[in-house]
């Protein structure tokens, strides 16, 4: 995943959501008894408290860091995923539907940090859009995920902290269907700014907080032995693949055997009888396909169309490309009439790119049905 771009923390707008919910801020402040909270705590009093100088007070910085974390989660999508995390953990939270997403995020941070962390992990996982897939030697379960995560984090610490000077490596994990998901947070202590208003002008409160500088995403499917990694640096992808194999499967070469880097069969698209099969109410089209012909000087052609198969047939080109190598394809899938289509890009032997925010399992199911994705 690319370097994280944090939203400017408009603290005025965020804190205004706590009007009539000041008790949540009181509970938030109570976690740091050494901090002197305004009494009574009103919105104006709390904003003035934030604007006041606090020096290098570590407790103050931790308190502000928690506000940042709640702010990061209080997006529209974050709100939906907070609900999903609450459901997954079977959490009962009084007044769940009566508060804004900002208040809900901070309440979760205070009242149930485990659910807050799960919602944050789901949010970052939903932003994964391009990953490389590797085939393992065999389907294999992970015996002790919790213990292996500790070992994995230590190995990544050796790889990344020493190589790049990253201050902190955090590995979070959660289960989603058949997948064991892991998010590797590369965190750095950085100066963070809260934007507040003073006499109509913007003022900035600076604190130093651990903030995710980058996230990498890993998914492992024990039932198939397949591993997926999203990280922007190929060298680090290889290091993570090996470290994962050692920590979780006790076999350094588990994802490095013959055929391990083959996940896609794009040549399936050139077969004469190939056609997309979808469930009722769903729609699919091949929007783009790139061929390389077995000729000198190795010409490459890209067909772009609302329906590339129709275009190939109308121009009698499908037979011409029957012996060509498919280098890439773009498939559009709409899960219902009038729904925004999901773009699925496939390239090389194991690179997939699509948003995992919604219907990710459905996309993978279709790719397997069409025999484009192999396990």
Phi then psi for residue 245, to 5 deg, are -60, -40
281 domain-assigned: yes
Chosen domain end from 87, 111, 126:
126
Token pair of 344, please? 């699925």
152 lies in the same domain as 217: yes
For residue 102, pLDDT over 90 is answered with yes
3 domain-assigned: no
CB 352 within 8 A of CB 265: no
In this prediction, residue 303 carries a pLDDT of 96
**Gap between the Cα atoms of 77 and 109, Å rounded:** 17
142 lies in the same domain as 243: yes
pTM for this prediction: 0.74
- pLDDT, averaged across the chain: 87
Q: Which of 229, 218, 227 is nearest to 171 (CA)?
A: 218
24 lies in the same domain as 99: yes
Give the domain extent around 236: 130-249
2 domain-assigned: no
pLDDT digits (tens, 9 = 90+) for 335-348: 998 888 999 999 99
**Gap between the Cα atoms of 199 and 10, Å rounded:** 16
Cα 196 vs. chain centroid, distance in angstroms?
30
Chosen domain end from 126, 152, 174:
126
135 lies in the same domain as 27: no
* 208: helix, strand or coil: strand
144 lies in the same domain as 209: yes
Domains held by the chain: number: 3
pLDDT digits (tens, 9 = 90+) for 220-236: 999 999 999 998 888 88
307 lies in the same domain as 217: no
147 lies in the same domain as 210: yes
375 domain-assigned: no
Chosen domain end from 126, 145, 162:
126
The DSSP bridge partners found for residue 228 are 133, 219
Phi then psi for residue 22, to 5 deg, are -60, -25
255 domain-assigned: no
Q: Which of 221, 232, 223, 235 is nearest to 182 (CA)?
A: 221
pLDDT bracket for residue 7 (50, 70, 90): low
Lowest-pLDDT range of 77-81, 120-124, 158-162, 296-300: 158-162
216 lies in the same domain as 326: no
Q: Which residues contact 190 (CB under 8 A, 6 or more apart)?
A: 208, 209, 211, 213
In this prediction, residue 2 carries a pLDDT of 46
């Amino acid at each position: 995943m690319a370097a994280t771009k944090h939203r400017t923390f408009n603290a005025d707008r965020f804190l205004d959501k706590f009007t009539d919910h000041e008790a949540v801020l009181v509970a938030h402040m109570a976690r740091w008894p050494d901090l002197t909270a305004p009494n009574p705590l009103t919105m104006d009093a709390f904003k003035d408290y934030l604007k006041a100088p606090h020096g290098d007070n570590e407790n103050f910085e931790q308190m502000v860091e928690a506000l940042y974390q709640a702010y990061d989660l209080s997006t529209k999508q974050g709100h939906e995923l907070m609900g999903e995390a609450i459901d997954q953990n079977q959490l009962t939270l009084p007044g769940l539907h009566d508060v804004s997403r900002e208040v809900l995020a901070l309440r979760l941070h205070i009242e149930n940090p485990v659910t807050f962390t799960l919602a944050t992990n789901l949010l970052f996982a939903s932003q994964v859009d391009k990953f490389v897939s590797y085939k393992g030697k065999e389907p294999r379960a992970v015996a002790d995920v919790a213990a292996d995560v500790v070992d994995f984090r230590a190995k990544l610490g050796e790889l990344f902290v020493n190589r790049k000077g990253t201050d902190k490596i955090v590995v979070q994990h959660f289960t989603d269907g058949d997948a064991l998901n892991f998010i590797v947070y590369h965190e750095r202590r950085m100066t963070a700014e809260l934007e507040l208003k003073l006499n109509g002008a913007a003022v900035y409160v600076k604190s130093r907080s651990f903030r995710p500088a980058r996230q990498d995403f890993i998914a492992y499917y024990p039932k198939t032995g397949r591993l997926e990694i999203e990280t922007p640096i190929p060298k680090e992808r290889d290091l993570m693949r090996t470290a994962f194999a050692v920590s979780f499967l006790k076999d350094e070469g588990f994802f490095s055997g013959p055929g391990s880097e083959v996940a896609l069969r794009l040549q399936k698209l050139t077969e004469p009888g190939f056609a997309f099969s979808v469930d009722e109410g769903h729609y699919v089209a091949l929007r783009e396909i790139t061929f390389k012909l077995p000729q000198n000087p190795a010409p490459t052609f890209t067909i772009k169309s609302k329906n590339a198969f129709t275009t190939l047939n109308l121009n009698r080109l499908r037979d011409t490309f029957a012996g060509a190598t498919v280098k890439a394809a773009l498939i559009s899938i709409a899960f219902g009439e009038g729904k925004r289509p999901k773009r699925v890009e496939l390239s090389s032997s194991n690179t997939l790119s699509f948003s995992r925010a919604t219907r990710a399992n459905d996309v993978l199911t279709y790719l397997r049905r069409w025999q484009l994705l192999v396990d």
